[in-house]
C-alpha cells in the first residue's frame, strides 16, 4: 500500500464515522483514524494498484468502521451510575 492509498483508506474510515455519528468531525471531538503503509511489495498476491481491489478495501473500511461504532454503542455498559445501552438488552 502506498502513502496515498493509506491516506485514502483513513479518509474512507472517516466517511464511516460521518455516516454513523452526528455531528461528526467537530474540532476537539477526538475522532481520529490512522492508516500506515510500509510501501513494500507483498507476497500475498493482492495488488492494490488496480482500482478494483482498492475500491473493495475502501468500501469494506467504510462499512466496518460504521458497524464497529454501532456495535460499541449498543453494547456499552454503564459507568458511575449512568447506564449504557448494553445494560438494557
Q: Which of 2-6, 15-19, 49-53 has the lowest mean pLDDT?
A: 49-53
33 touches 8 (CB < 8 A): no
For residue 41, the Cα-to-chain-centroid distance in whole angstroms is 24
Q: Which of 13-27, 39-53, 73-87 has the lowest mean pLDDT?
A: 39-53
Mean per-residue pLDDT of the chain: 89
According to the model, what pLDDT value does residue 71 have? 98
Amino acid at each position: 500500500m502506498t502513502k496515498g492509498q493509506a491516506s485514502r483508506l483513513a479518509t474512507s474510515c472517516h466517511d464511516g464515522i460521518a455516516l454513523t455519528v452526528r455531528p461528526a468531525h467537530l474540532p476537539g471531538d477526538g475522532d481520529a483514524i490512522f492508516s500506515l503503509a510500509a510501501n513494500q511489495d507483498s507476497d500475498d498476491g493482492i495488488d492494490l494498484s488496480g482500482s478494483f481491489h482498492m475500491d473493495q478495501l475502501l468500501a469494506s473500511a467504510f462499512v466496518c468502521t460504521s458497524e464497529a461504532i454501532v456495535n460499541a454503542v449498543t453494547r456499552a455498559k454503564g459507568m458511575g451510575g449512568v447506564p449504557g445501552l448494553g445494560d438494557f438488552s
